Every structure is written in C-alpha cells, then in structure tokens.
Structure 1
C-alpha cells in the first residue's frame, strides 16, 4: 500500500470505535486456542521462576508497599516530584511537613520483607509524627529527640531518601557515570539505550542545550561501540519535544525544517559512532507531526546503509499497527533497515484528560489495559513478520507479553527485549539465561533535579494495583492471575470501552451533553475547518441590523478586521434611540405568554439552538477571528462555551422555578471580548427562566450577535421575546437601562459603567430590578519555589497573553518567590520569544490584535510610560499594520502600584520572600477586586491557606487562570469585580426569577443615627462564626421552631465545598463564603427574623435595625453570635457611609426605592439590595476552585481505573 494511503489510515483511526479496533487487533494477533493456553502457562511459570529465584529490586518492593492505592504512596510521589528542585530551606520544610505529617505511615510498618523499605517506613512514621508534634511513650521521646535536632536533620534525611529513590531509576548524573554504573550489567551481556533527562524545551535556549547534551552523549559513547552492528552497541533515545520549543502542529511550517536539521545532525553523529538512535514517542496529537519529521530525516541520502534509525510506537494507541505499516513502507521506499521499539505507552492519563477537556468524539488510546495488551500482541506479530526491514525491540515488564513474543518469534536473533533501568530485572535475566535473547536497558541519565517528571511517570505506571510490576511483588496474587490471557479478558469483559471512564461527550452526566470539540492538531479536522471557514473569508460578508418590530434605523457603519483594518468584514445598521422604548414595550407585552410556556419547552428551544450553533461553527469561527480578532483556538473555545451555556441552563432551568416567577423584560448588555459566549449566556439564562430579552451587543461586534439571534429565533424563540438592538452606549445602552419598564439588567463590562447602570436602575426602575454585573479585575498569580518552572511558565504565558490579554480573567500581576526569580524570568523571556504575534486567521498565531484604535493607543501609551520608568523586563515586536500591541512584561514592587486594569497583553512581575505570603495575600485583597487568582505550588496546605485567604471568585491551582468551563468552574467575581451570582453555576438562574416580598411599611420608632449604626456594627473578623460548619444547626437550636421557612431555605444550601463535574485529572469545587457585614432592615418582625437567619447562616455579621428588632430577635441575641439589634426606624441616608456588604429590605416599593438610591450612590463595590423574603444565596459569595490534580506528574486515580 502506498505511503500516502497508509497515512490516511493512520489519520482515520485517530479516534476510532474502540470495539471495532479491538476486534481488528484480536484477529490480527492470530493465535489459536492452544497457542494462547501455552503462552499463559509459560507466563505463569515465568512468574513463579522470578518470584523464587531472586529478591525483587528495591523500587519494586517500594511500589508494593506504597502503591498509588494508598494516600501515602501518592504523597511520596508528590514529594519526590518537587523536593529536589526547591532551593530554599523554609519552603523545603513546609513541603516535607505537608507531604509526610498528615499520613498514616504506621499502617505500612512491617508490611514489607525489605529492610530498607521498613526502615523508610519507620523514618517516615517518625518524621511525620515529629512534624505533627504528637507526644507519648517511647515514640514520643524519640520524636522529641529528633525535634531537638531540628528541621535541618529531617530535611537532609528526607532529601537523601528522595535521592535514593531517584538512583533506583537513574543510572547516572552523566554519561560517564552511567556507563561506569552500568558496567556490571554490560558484562552480563546487556546493552543500554541512554535517555537524557529533562522536560520538553520551553525556550530556544532549552532546545539548544538539550541538543548539545544529546550530541555530547553520542560522542561519549563512541569509544564503547564494538563494531558496525548496532545491535551489539549502546544506543541513545531522543525526545523531539526537547529539540524545539514549539513542537506543535500549529507551528509546522517553521518548526519542521529546524527540527529535521537538528535530528539529522544527531542521526549522523550516531551513525558515525555505530550506534542506534531511537525517537521516543510522545503525546498522540504529535504523532502526525512526528511522522513528517521521521520521513524528512530518514530520506536523507547520508543515512543510507545505517541501520540505527529507530522509532518508538505506543501500543495503547489504536493507530499503532498502522504506524508500523507506514514505517515498514517508508523503510522499503528509501531502502533502509530501521529499529522499532514497541512500548505499551507513557501518557495514557494525559490523553484521557485531553480528550475530555477538548470534547473529542472518542479517545486516541484504549481505555482498558487488556485492550492495550492485545494491541501489543498484534503489533508484535506484525513486527516479527517485517524483520527484513525492521529490527523489533520489545519493551515490556509483563511476563505474558514476553511469553507471547517468544511463542510468535521464529528465532532469537531478529529481535531484542528492552526494560527500564530499575524495573523487570529478574524477569529478563531469567528469560535471557533460558532463551538466549538479547536485552537492552532503557536508562535515564541526568541530574537528580531533572529526573522528577520521569520518576513520577514510572511510579504512576507501575504503582497502580493493575500493573504487572505491582502484582509480581504481591505474593497473594496467583501466578495464573498475573499471566491471564488478555485475549480471554477482552472476550469476556463486555464492551471494549471502559464503563468507568466517561466518554468525552458524557463527562457532565445524563443531564447535558458536552459541547463538541474541534481538535486543530488533527490534520483531517483542521482541513475540514479550513475548507468550511474559507466560505466566510470574503469582504463585506455579513450585514447586521436591529432584530425587532420597532420601526426605524439609526446610522449604518462598517465593521473592519482589527488585524487588517482595511478589510471590511461587514456592515451594521444600528438601532435608533427612538426604537428603544418601543422595543421595551414589545418585550414587556410578549413576556407573560412566554413565561406561561412549560419550562421544558423553553429548555428544548435552548438545546435546539445549541445544535444550530454547532452546525454553524465554521461561520462563528470566521466571525470571531475577523470581527473580534480572536485566534482559531479562541474561536473554537468561544463557540463551545456558548453551546455549554445553552445546554447547562436548559438542564438547570427546572431547579429555579419553585416558588418564584419570571421578572419580565431583561436588558442583556454584552462585551466585545466574548461576543458570542457571554452574549449567548446572558440571553439563554434570561429566556429559559421565562423572561423576554432586549440584547445590546458591544458596538465593536454586532455581526456575530446578529447571527446568534437569527439562530435563536430559528430554534423557536418567538420573535418578540428576543430583540437585538445594535448600537453604542449613549444611543442604545443608556435609554435601555433608564427605561422604567426594564425588570433587570445583565451586564458584562467595566466597573465604572456597572456603577452607572446601578445608579440608573435605582433612579428609574422598580426597586427590585435585577442587576447582574461581571466586571474587571487586577488578577494575580503566585508562584512559589516548589512549582515546576516549565508548567508555571506555560500557564503564565496563556493567562497573560492568550487573546492578547483581553480577558476579564487574564493575569495582570505575577508574584514570583525570590529564590526562583532568576530561573523563572529567564524561562519566561525565552518562552515569550517563541510566541507569534500576527493575523489570527493563521493557525500559527499566538497573539492577535487588540480590539480597536482606542485600545491600541491606550495600551501602547501605558507601555511607553512604563518603559521610560525603566520597568521593562521583556517585550516582543508587533506587526507594523493592524491594531497590534506586542506582549510586554514590566517589573513592579507589588499590586499596590497598579492604578487600573490594563486590558491587553501586559504582565507585571513582583517578587516575594518565602515568609511574605500573608503580606502578598493582604496586598491583593486591599485592591478590592476579586475575579481570578492563580497559584503554582506543590504544598497542599498552602493551597487551602490561599483559598481561605484570597477574596476572589475563581481560584486556579497549578494551571492557567483563564477559560472557565460552564458547570465546572462557574465564573464571576466579587468586590469591584462583580455582583454575582456566577455565570454557569447553580445559583445563576435563580437571580433571573423573583420570590415573594413582604411589601410592608416601616413601623414607627425613633430615628436611628449614623453614630448608633456605626457603634453597633459587628465585626465579622471576630470569633469563628464565619468558619463554623454547624451554623444552621446552632440557629435552629436557638430558635426552637421560629423562622422555620428561613431555616429550611438556608439548610437547602450547601455551605461546604461542593464537587462539580469536569474532566478527569481536575478537581472542581464550589463553596459559599460570607459577604461580610449585612444590614437587615425588615421592616416587620417576621421578615427581619428571616433576613437575619439567612444572613447569619451564610456566616455574616448582622446589624438588624427596625422597630421592635431586639424583641423579634430575642432568641438569637446574647448567644455569642455576630449580631446586634437596634430598636428604631432606620433612615437610609444615615446608613450611607456605613461599611456594609449587603442590605436586606422588603418594604413598600416607595421605601425600597429610597434605600436603593442611597446605597447606589456609595463609592466602591456595588452593594446588593435583597428585597425577597427568602433568598439565602443572596447573602453569600460563591468561590470556585479548580486544581489540576495531575500537575505533580499524572493521574493516580484514573490509572487505577484502567
């Protein structure tokens, strides 16, 4: 079959049906029942022989004692991953205490036959209890003694233990040391394939350093080559990701020639040294790119006659067999003999997570271990039939796999086995002695600080209960069970796909389907996207206008491409000011009939709209790129988020109905930076809750909004229920928000405009008119010395510069611990230099334009000013034409220097000492914003410290701080960053409906003065009320049946951390935090009690002011609660300057209007007026926390499920 045809097979099987793939491979294995029985019997004999002949290697015993099914095993993995790179003793001590102190090491005491493992257990147990400061008995005396010796002793001991772990896997710090340490095995007849340790190159300097290391290693091994046959000489393994910082499909055109040149130079050096060079396999999305590199290099005439070019193939991928076919055809085409190392696969958990995150149609790997084992057998049989061109290298520690290969092979000379240094020694020594087979040892070489990612990957692969290595050391597992035929397992397991691993489309459960993903690393999909979006590349392609029956148009305006301002994308007829009032009247009239329709009908319309969005995704991609200046990747994320909003709100709508009613006509005012996602999210929430909508899109992006409304109407939204009024703020926005018939405003934009809207609503709208405002932020990230620099820099770049920094969530101020500042900033600068600034239509573009001339001028002026102050750390160059601002990084002392949010690709960097963390938290909180916050650390206790201390709506740990996913990371801030509730969260829809209000008049009483209010205002910082988990129970006990409805409503909320669904390898939680001080104004006794109960239940401090307040609250006062009650008539004007965070008042509309107007005039954050009698969520902030649980190296729980 021609190479191109095989390549198409490879591409077609990227995400295949797993059942069909396993059937194909089972047949390809071609083993009879008798052969299978004999292989299993032979494998069981091998297990018995290995168990009886020698003690297992130290690391194998260690894995048995501390497998990943134990918390202690996971803690050790995390400690090993981070400890050796931490330069400062204070953070090192914190990390050791964090990983060792909380765990039950005594449960492992005496559980192993190894003296070293038991000694390690006792050391960890002792150290853990020292750090935990327990006392008692002889152990207490010993702990006291160690504690007197001090933390330096513990630190040195634990660091030494981690190095000992490392030496079990790493042959040497240098090639010379590795060759020397490997000599005993070489003398037995083993050979080595050396791998130079390190992460993927993040910078060009990294890539050159790795290339030099590979070159030097080859040179060092030259003298040890024993002749021309590469099978009898050592070899080297090379990671392509180490040779270029942008080893990505998007950078193919510029990356490929450089990568090929670097790989060729290494191949020529290896040829000269008569040794083999293997190209290690990496993530599945890089396979197609790797094949391009491989063909380009192998075709070089200078490599003719050399048989040492090797490629690693991962059997866990359904494309493995096709890749082998392609390599064989390639070798024939260029008349080469090559090596193929067959491995099970090293990135399985990463592939599962990526597919779920991207919403792919399937997985690029098998989801069961048995399926991979069958694939390995089929691929091995194929390789053994291709020995005229391929020298197979079978890397395995599995006795059944070894037995199968011995059964299938016609001889013992045409292949070799391979194992990892430190693993599988007894198995392969037994086979070598009995069968005379060759065995090569894959041996990492490098500094201990570089081994961490490799070490953790090995721990993850082999520490799971299902792994062969783990089972081999567990005497309770029978040899026949370990040697079970995977073909038999596949035949009896039912469906090939693992039911414990949700399909990417189903990660959110039965309630809703995940949005469709578009993988732009897949050549087939990328070609389809390019073909589809090409239809929308022409000039003046779209024409938008008001979507309303209200007559009359305003001015016509051209919309231009911000990357190419001379390119007209389309035109818009804007709404005229006179249309606004008519549109509101139409919306008000249409709303009651819409609200009467069953919620299931409204939800079904949203789901149909989601399907239409996906069907028209290519047009939306083109609009996002050409109208809003987004990259293709951002355009895809935009469509997916919009679809997720539609489906999520459709699924949640019924939960908001009980005891509430729709509000009426809602004004939805959306921003240009998410012109489809936020636009759609606001509208979808309003519609599904029974409201009508007048949508005003940002004046920069009306075209995409127009198409969205057309699709919403096509999905079934009645024409008068949704209207679109494109235009600017003065012409459309101001009269819309000033219209007294508007029942609420949903707004995303600047803090200043949100305050103006609140004042306008207070003046003209009903006093209970809703305002949901999501505004900007001065978002910070803290990186401590335990963080992995490569991960941190990756996430810093994405957070600060993706979307040209034009995200509310974007990183503005980076705090780096001083101990790692130099390394971190050098890597940050180098990684920045690898970014491409340019036209976002090109897939290679990383940073596109800013939105308009005004933004470009403002950001550029700021950068010039900071540059003149001598603050510049790094900057890139921007294209000369178009609305571009190059990424800049400036040095600041801290966030306190920031006067405003700079809404563009501008990052500020400050440093901190290890003992200044609390000071940094306080500085961030003092700015008053609270949108997103990022943290890179390996210290779990520190994570909780930040979650408890930082006032931010969304906290991200060990990942970037942008791209909140609907339903997984509900998005929205607090303080100056927004009012709440969070979009895409469980409390959002309830805000679009209203419950009963008391509507009673304030009774007579003395006028309470400002001084009285201030003197009686409780301090929420005093006592532990805000952190107590039993607040509702305490209130219920004191009240003895009073306020039952409010108690029930509060009890229905979960104030603890609620787990939210999402992709594997990520922990998403939502919790409710107190807002602070609540002013409860009743006005009647029953309402006042209900308000007070809900405010206290949320953890707030409460000042209750109303005639008869002390009597109404007598059951709660004097009980040590943060509550004060004043008997008197509240005067809102007297409360104007009172420092409160919520005001609760459910009086007459006339009185409520006065209260709202007073609090709307206050400076600072918008203070909500809670007018409903029962709405407990209104008294709390929502806090969403997202933790990348794979950051320390992998996903232990997922691997256990395989």
Structure 2
C-alpha cells in the first residue's frame, strides 16, 4: 500500500518537476559561452579548481597541500611544501604548474613568486566559499545578499572544540554574533520576499550552531552527562536569541552524534519556555540510511509539541569520512553507497516533509536543480503557505541557481560560514571535494551533460534494502609480509543507545557477583590454596572484586608435571582442531563482551570506552592466531627429482605466560592462545591485581574445549612461584609483558641452564616504553592536541604505548602547550564506571605512590604547567603536565606509567628526532605533521617498533598494527603479526631420498 501511494505521488509531481527543472537549468547555463571564451584568461584559483577536476591524483595532493597551507609561516615554507606535495614524483602536473614549481631553492625569487601566487589563489578560493573573516565582513556579505532578495544563516567556522575554554568561547561568540547582527538588522529596510510571510514578520537574524561545540567532552557513551552540560548552554543561547528576536538553527554533524543530538533537542524544545517557538530548526542528512525514519519520528514528535519548527534537509557533507570510519571499525556503513540513492532519498524525504508542512516547516538545501525543482513542484501542487517552505544554498556554491530560485518567488536562504582561514580550512576542503567530485551536480552541469541525464528521476534499490552492504575489507597487509584477508572484531558502537545501555547495565550485573573466590586451575581441577589475595576496585579500594587463591611452589610443580604429561597428545592434536578451539573461545568472548568489559572496569579501573576495544583485541588474537597456525602448518616443500624436502614446525613444549594488569584480558589472551594453538602446554600466571579477569579467561578457554593439563591457570606470587616456574628445567619458554626490571630478571634467570635441562629457553619480553610524539610546525593542532591528550591520559597513562613525552617544534610551542593544558584541564576524572570518566584511577596504592614520587622529581627538574586535583578516595592521580623539560631529565627518560606528560621544546626537526631517540626504549612513537619530508624522515629514522603518523599512538589492532618494540622495550616478534607464532615453534627440516634402484616417482609423468 505504501509503495503504491509513493508511485502515485511520484507520477503526480514528476511532470511539473521536469518543467521547473528545465527553467532553472536554463538560468544556470546563461553566459556559458562567454566564460568558455575567457578560459584562457582564468585566474589561478580557477585554474587550480579546473586541474583538480581533471586529475584525480593531483586532486588528492592539491587538497592535502591546501589543508596544510594556513599553518605555514613563510613564503619559503609554502614554496617547499608546494614542491613536496606537487612534485613530478608524486603526481602528473599540468605544464603551467610544473613551470611554476621549477625552482631550485624555496628562498629564491621564483620560489617566493610561486608561494605568493598559489597562496593568493587558495585565499581567493576560500573567500568564494567563506562569507568573511570577521563579523563586519559577514554583515557586508549579508547586505549584498539582501539586495538580491536573499536571506541568510550564519555559521561560525571551527571544526573541533577541544577544550572547555573553547566551548565557553563558542557560546560567547554566538551571543556576540547575534547581538551585532541584530544591531545591523535595525537599519535594514524590509524585503517582503524574505522578511515576512503570510502576513507575519520573519526574523531578520538567523544563526546556525553545532551542538557538540557547546561541550568539549561531548560523547554518546556519556549521553546523560553530555545532555546536562550541553542543554544548559543551549538554554542560555535560546533565551538570548528570543530577547533579540533571532532565529537559531541546529546543524547536524557526524553520524555518531546524530541520535544523541536529536534526543537532546527533542527534550529541550518540549520545555515550556521553548515549546511554542517557531524560529528554531534542526537538520537531517539524506545520505544516512536511517534519515527517512528519523524524519517520520520527528513528525510524530512535532505533533506532540504542537508548534512547528524548521527541518533543514541536506544531502550530507561527510560521506567519505563516514564510509572510512565504518570500514575501519567494521560497522555497517551508515550512508548510502551511491549518490543516486542519496538523491532518491532526498526526494522522498522532501515529499514527506512537505506533505506534513502543518507540523514541520521545510528548508530544502541542495545545489541539484532537480532536487529543488521537485520541492517547488510539490509546494505548488499542495499550495503550501510561504512561511512553511524556503530553499537554501551554500555561500559561493550555486549563485545562479539561487537567483533563479528567487525568480521563482521562493524565499532563498544562503548558508554563510565565517571565520579565520585555519579553522575554515576543513570546511573549504569539503566544499572543494563537493565541487570536484564526479557525482557532483555542479560539476556535471559545468560539463554540460545532457539535460535528460541531469534531470532523470533518481532510482535506487538501496532505499528498499534494509541491510547496508558490508564495509569494504582491507584486502592486503604490507605486501612484503603476506596477503591478508583477516577481518577484525567490531568494537561496540556506543552511539547506539541499546548497545550503550547494555554495556552500562552489565557493570551493575557484575557488581552483584563481587567477592567470590577464584582458585587455580591445575590439571583440569580447581584446587584449594593456603594463601589468598583480595583483588580490589582501584576506584573504590573498599570494594573487593574477588578473592584469588595463590599457588604454592608444590602446586606449581604439580601444574608443570600435568603439562608435561599432556604435551604428547596436545602436540599431535591436529592444527585444525586446536584452531577451532580458539575460534570457539572468540565466539564465547563476543557473547560475553559486555560482562568482560564490566570486570575490567571494576577490577582494573579501565573506563568502558577503553575496555570494549580490549575485548575486540582478545577476540582478534584468537581468530588471527588460529588462521596463522593453519597457514604455518602447511610448511614449505622444496622437492627435486629423486628427493623430497619439507620444512615444517613443531611445538616447543611447556610454555609459561606471565601477563600484566594494564591489558588484563587482551594481552594474556594473546600470549596464551598463541602458545596453545602452536601445540604447547601453557601455564598462565596473571598479575595479582587482575587475576579475576584472568580467571574469566580461564573459564572461557575451558568452555571452548581446551583439554585438562594443556592449559592451567596458576596465579601466584611472582617473587616465589613465578621465579620457580621461570627457572624450572621442564619449562621451555617464557612469554612476559611487564616492567623492565622484572623482564630483565626473567631474561637472566631463564638463560641459566638448570640440572637436567636439555634445551635453551626462549624468552619473549615486552617491557614498556618512554614513548614520544613529535609535533611539527605544519601539524593540524586540533588533531595533535586531541591525539596527545588521548595517548597520554587515556587509562591514566598506564598503557605501555602511552605518550609520556611530547616534543614540540619551537614556532608552535606556546600555542600548542596552551591548548594542550586547556584540553587536559577539560578531562573528566572519576570512577571508571562513570560513563563521563576519561581519566580513572591508577591500578593500586604502590603505583599511586610511585607516580607521586616522580611528580615531585619533575618539580625539581622543570615547570609544572598543570596539576589537576583528583578524588581523595581511590587510587587517583590527576593528570600532570611539565613544560621546559630537558630531554635528559629523569621524567623524560624513565618510565613512569601514569598520567604524567613531559613537554620538550625542539628548535628544528632534526633535534626533535634526536630527542625522541634519546631514551633506552623503542616501543611506540608518533608524529603530527603535514610536511611530506618530515613524515619520510620519521619513517626512516624514528627508532620505534610502532610509529603512528597523524593519529594517536595507543590502541594497536591485531593484524593491522602488529605490536612490539626493541632496545629495552622488548625482545621478540610483534604480537598480532605474521611472524609472532614462529617464536612458539621449533622449525624442522626433513629431506628424503625417494630414489630406489635408479628410479624415482616423477609427479605428472606419462605412463
């Protein structure tokens, strides 16, 4: 029935849509021949745009250069970056551009001229799409628009609100903007087409705001906290707008914020003081698969509200970003895969919106002639009052279309962003991407595609397909390693309310299970122990998570003998069978994901948003190592006539795993299942403070089918039981993650040959880092500040990959440090179970005391730029930032393992690399830079096992980011990589002479 009425509606409006569209298209193509004649006299900004349309490779490099340009501080820097981004080695260049870049020295006169020409062209391009650098320029732009009978909405540019100071400034700037626009509007004469409708005056002032900019820690996981912080600031904005008679429209941003944005606005606009206002609006994006249902929900809500508000219907500006993010997380792609589907959805949403004009007013935002014509056709057919519909375009994007729409007698509103070039650059790039995309209507119109093609009704099966296509999986890893088709487990998308609620509810469910006793598992049986230790909640040490039985040396001996007895059968167990046990364990982890997260939150103080990816990592280890062992099991054959040669692997024997507390599930899982799937009998000795989570891992492995004796859970004192097992002559290998001190002791003890020992022990040791991030003068500071804060203070700096040093180049040092301090000051510190928490407790009292001692050392070596207070109860340490730190200072050289960050100033990039490489560690490192040569240098010379460029340095993903370092950061191959399992295996080679009495089987020989 619904489909039938939709077809009737399509037929009803189509003829009129075509007629109106042809009129509009004709108007947009006027004077085209004149412009064709002037093509040879085009300005450089037009040439740049034209080149990017015709050359996809140049388009990418040019837009990267434009993104970087505002950060460059001299003409020489601009010239150098032009050559690096736009060399013949990177992309094929047009002759004119190649000639301009043909200078040897960026400081030369030709270099200066090239920099001036191109930077001027980019600035001109920016001013085509940005209505002004300041309010006064915007007012002049608005007054010009009003002369053309067009109205406006003003948006303050700025993509990221990183600090609470910036969030408060954002509100204040909008309050000031509304005040100045209102004052200016008092001298404007009335323009009937835009200032009144249906006998009533319309607001002469309208601003557009981003909800996320009202609170720097806006996070769907913390829905309640975000709503509380944002709503109070919005109330202040709306009250002031009402006093001034200004309209306010709420923009829509990334998909992850959509549901929470709509939830907050629906609640807020039902409040009595705002319920009767018609000068407010929200935005919906037609490229989202669920946007049609969002509109239907909004209509029902508007009926309940009883007063209309405006819905700005747009197609959406973040398609690439949404697609990439979904692919990276292995989530369903939220946007339509094809532009025609977005166009089709836009039309059906336009129809639904306009057919419900008594409940919602419509603002149709598009540069597609057909899309606008379709809206006009419906409006005329339904005789919709003028107050209830307007048409919108972006400033600088469709001037002729806007004029043609005015001529059709409709109110046209121009979206006018304003602000400085640096915060406006992301907006400019989006506009350039839109203008130059193959599917852009503006581009297709410029190319004079046939009218029938341009105006054809959009048709798509995606609108009726309830399930989006699977994200595109990466088909290869580094080709030098191997072809890889591994699919990672998907993290929980906490933007989805149902999943968020499930995760938070699990914490309360697990809390009802606290205080139980967890005993060692030896030879398939849980055994009683004389000694026990209480595992405590570091957020609240009075809360006992569980009581853990500690193995005695005698019981450890039983475990080793049980492993020895089980080894022959496990060694001969088919690889497929061993691998499938790992896959069953992964499935069980997925089923118990929320519960496992909750145990981590409570036992190790890891906030939910940090715990969930750890479950994914544990699942990935199981599945990836299962795949890898099946690959390795095939071995290598190298046969010649008369001789067969087989290279294959066998397990080593008894394997001891000593795991840390900071990744209490992922790391013990990875080390343990790597050992098991390769055929080794495995003993897991977890850190005492995370032994309950390790017990949960033991439950899962047993449930998955690991035979008794093959895997054993052996919690115990490291100094006694742990040392005994390390030295034991029957133990073949030790896999350790933890401190440098303990790792080196294990390495030393394992190297000593014990009586009766017939093998040399293999030791794999990961021992932490003193990880640095370099921020150079070309970096995107929004990105860099957020990345450093997340890397340094996520999980209270207790990740082995955490950033403990940030090395900043002198030209941007003060600017960066100021924003870093404010961004850190904006973090929420509290109990790990609170969804608002970004910085929880440290693991225990010893860690707390050690970190505090280092803070006191830092105060003698450098300047305390920030020291945040922390809750009194619990093992909390507030984030601390030291500035003026010497590269040789103790806090810059020694691993602290807490929320302490040393900021080091470097005079140039060479010195920054020197400082970064100056410690004894080499685990992770990062670089924020938009300078290609700096990125190349870091890749070659930054001495770390894992280098991350223009992203945070924590959170390695199995197969995608094999993880591990060198120097004193560790020994062994990278976890989650293609050669990790080789460490758990002994390679063997067998050569057989198959010749008998002068003959040998020849494969494929004729009979």
Shift of 1:408: 2.1
Q: Which residue of 505, 512, 520 maps to 1:531?
A: 505
Mapped partners of 1:811, 1:644: distance in 2? 24
Give the superposition deviation at 1:506: 13
Which residue is equivalent to 1:463? 436
Deviation at 1:982, TM superposition (A): 0.3
* Alignment-derived partner of residue 745 in structure 1: 734
Match of residue 563, structure 1, among 539, 543, 557: 539
Q: 1:128 and 2:122 equivalent?
A: no
1:432–1:439 CA contact under 8 A, matched in 2: yes
| 3-state SS of 1:195 partner | strand
After superposition, residues 202-601 of structure 1 pair within 5 angstroms as 202-222=162-182, 223-224=184-185, 226=190, 229=200, 231=202, 233-303=204-274, 306-360=277-331, 362-409=332-379, 410-411=382-383, 413=386, 414-433=388-407, 435-475=408-448, 477-487=449-459, 489-490=460-461, 501-502=471-472, 512-538=486-512, 540-549=514-523, 553-601=529-577
Matched, 1:907 2:901: yes
Alignment of 1:66-77 (within 5 A): 66-67=52-53, 70-77=56-63
Q: Which sections of structure 2, spanning at least 5 residues, go unmatched?
A: 37-41, 636-647, 991-1007
Query: Could you tell me which of 144, 153, 165 is aligned with 1:193?
Result: 153
**Is the contact made by 1:356 and 1:507 (CA closer than 8 Å) also made in structure 2?**
no
Output the CA distance in 1 between the equivalents of 2:599 and 2:476. 29
Contact 1:562 1:628 in 2 (8 A): yes
- With over 3 angstroms needed to count, the CA separation of the structure-2 counterparts of 1:300 and 1:676, relative to structure 1, is closer
Measured after TM superposition, the shift of residue 93 of structure 1 is: 4.4
Decide whether the 8 Å contact of 2:154 with 2:208 is kept in 1.
Answer: yes
How far residue 299 of structure 1 moved from its aligned partner, in angstroms, is 3.5
Change (3 A) 1:196 1:736: same
In structure 2, do the counterparts of structure 1 residues 257 and 722 end up closer, same or farther at CA, with 3 Å as the change threshold? closer
Give the drift of 1:255: 4.0
- Cα 1:582–1:427 shift into 2, 3 Å: same
| 1:718 counterpart = 2:707 | yes
Q: 1:854 aligns with which of 836, 846, 868?
A: 846
CA contact (8 A) 2:657 2:683 kept: yes
Q: Distance in 2 between matches of 1:467 and 1:345?
A: 12
TM-superposed CA distance for 1:353, in Å, is 3.2
- Alpha-carbon deviation of 1:53? 4.4
Contact 2:657/2:672, CA 8 A, preserved across alignment: yes
Which residue does the alignment assign to 2:651?
Answer: 662
2:876 maps to 1:887? no
Structure 2 residue aligned with 1:165, among 122, 125, 128? Answer: 125
> 1:608 pairs with 584, 592, 605, which one?
584
Task: Look up the match of 2:697.
Answer: 708
- Is contact 2:203–2:245 with CA below 8 Å preserved after alignment? no
User: Is the partner of 1:907 in helix, strand or coil?
Assistant: strand
Q: Hey, what does 1:99 align to over in structure 2? A: 85
Could you list the runs of 5+ residues in structure 1 that have no partner in the other structure? 1-22, 110-121, 134-145, 999-1202
Partner of 2:660: 671
Distance 1:107 1:231, change over 3 A: farther
CA distance in 1 between partners of 2:5 and 2:962 (Å): 47
Q: What aligned pairs does 1:137-148 form with structure 2 within 5 A after superposition? A: 148=108
Displacement of 1:39: 4.0
Contact 2:685-2:715 within 8 A present in 1 as well: yes
- Residues 88, 907 of structure 1: alpha-carbon distance in 2 compared, 3 angstrom cutoff: farther
TM alignment of 1:797-816, pairs within 5 A: 797-816=789-808
Q: Distance in 1 between matches of 2:867 and 2:54?
A: 44
The answer to whether the 8 Å contact 1:101/1:127 transfers is: no
1:1016-1165 paired onto structure 2 within 5 Å: none
Instruction: Determine the structure 1 residue equivalent to 2:641.
Output: none
User: What is the match of residue 138 of structure 2?
Assistant: 178
Partner of 2:998: none
The structure-2 alpha-carbon separation of the partners of 1:605 and 1:619, relative to structure 1 and needing over 3 Å to count, comes to same
**2:953 partner SS:** coil
Name the counterpart of 2:1003.
none
1:764-843 paired onto structure 2 within 5 Å: 764=753, 766-843=758-835
Q: Secondary structure at the match of 1:797?
A: helix
Inter-CA distance 262–777: structure 2 relative to 1 (3 Å threshold): same
CA deviation after TM superposition for structure 1 residue 238, in Å = 1.0
Partner-residue secondary structure (3-state), 2:133: coil
How far residue 949 of structure 1 moved from its aligned partner, in angstroms, is 0.5
The C-alpha deviation readout for 1:728-765, integer Å capped at 9, x for no partner, is 21222111111122221111112222222222222125
How far does residue 351 in structure 1 lie from its aligned partner after superposition? Answer: 2.5
Aligned-partner SS, 1:639: helix
**Structure 1 CA distance, aligned partners of 2:107 and 2:509?**
72
- For 2:90 and 2:678, the matched residues in 1 are separated by 50
Q: Say whether the 8 Å CA contact 1:75–1:99 is kept in structure 2.
A: yes
Which range moves more in the overlay, 509-518 or 66-75?
509-518
Q: CA deviation at 1:543?
A: 2.2
**Which piece of structure 1 moves more, 288-297 or 692-701?**
288-297
SS in 1 for 2:558: helix
Of 109, 114, 124 in structure 2, the residue corresponding to residue 154 of structure 1 is 114
Match of 1:81 among 43, 67, 70: 67
Quick check: 2:313–2:362 contact (8 Å CA) kept in 1?
yes
Alpha-carbon distance, 1:91 to partner: 4.5
Distance 1:217 1:671, change over 3 A: same
Asked if 2 retains the 8 angstrom alpha-carbon contact of 1:281 and 1:313, the reply is yes
Q: Structure 2: how far apart are the matches of 1:155 and 1:602?
A: 62
- 8 Å CA contact 1:64–1:470 kept in 2: the answer is no
> In 1, Cα distance between the equivalents of 2:764 and 2:561?
22
Inter-CA distance 66–27: structure 2 relative to 1 (3 Å threshold): farther
- CA deviation profile, 1:822-863 (whole Å, cap 9, x unmatched): 221111111112111111011111111111111111101111
Q: Secondary structure at the match of 1:687?
A: helix
Distance change in 2, residues 1:858/1:532 (3 Å):
closer
2 CA distance for matches of 1:230 and 1:326?
Answer: 29
**Cα drift, residue 170 of structure 1:** 0.8
Structure 1 distance, partners of 2:93, 2:30, is 27
Structure 2: distance between partners of 1:289 and 1:504: 30
8 Å contact kept, 1:271–1:303: no
For the Cα contact (< 8 Å) 1:539–1:568, is it kept in 2?
A: no
CA distance in 2, matches of 1:267, 1:151: 51
For the residue of structure 1 that corresponds to 2:778, the secondary structure is coil
- Structure 1 stretch 149-158 or stretch 524-533: which is displaced more? 149-158
Q: 1:311 to 1:230 in 2, by over 3 A?
A: farther
Q: Establish whether residue 627 from structure 1 lines up as the match of residue 606 from structure 2.
A: no
Given the two structures, how large is their TM-score scaled by the length of structure 2?
0.88
Alpha carbons of structure 1 residues 721 and 731: separation in structure 2 relative to 1, 3 Å: same
1:573-610 Cα distance to aligned partner (Å, 9 max, x none): 11111122332222122122222222111111111000
The superposition leaves residues 597-639 of structure 1 with CA deviations (integer Å, 9 ceiling, x where unpaired) of 2211111111100000111122211211111111111221111
Check 1:806–1:95 CA distance in 2 against 1; reply closer, same or farther (3 A cut): same
Q: Secondary structure at the match of 2:888?
A: helix
| Partner SS, residue 683 of structure 2 | strand
Secondary structure, counterpart of 1:465 in structure 2 = coil
- Structure 2: distance between partners of 1:555 and 1:28: 73
1:975: Cα distance to partner? 1.1
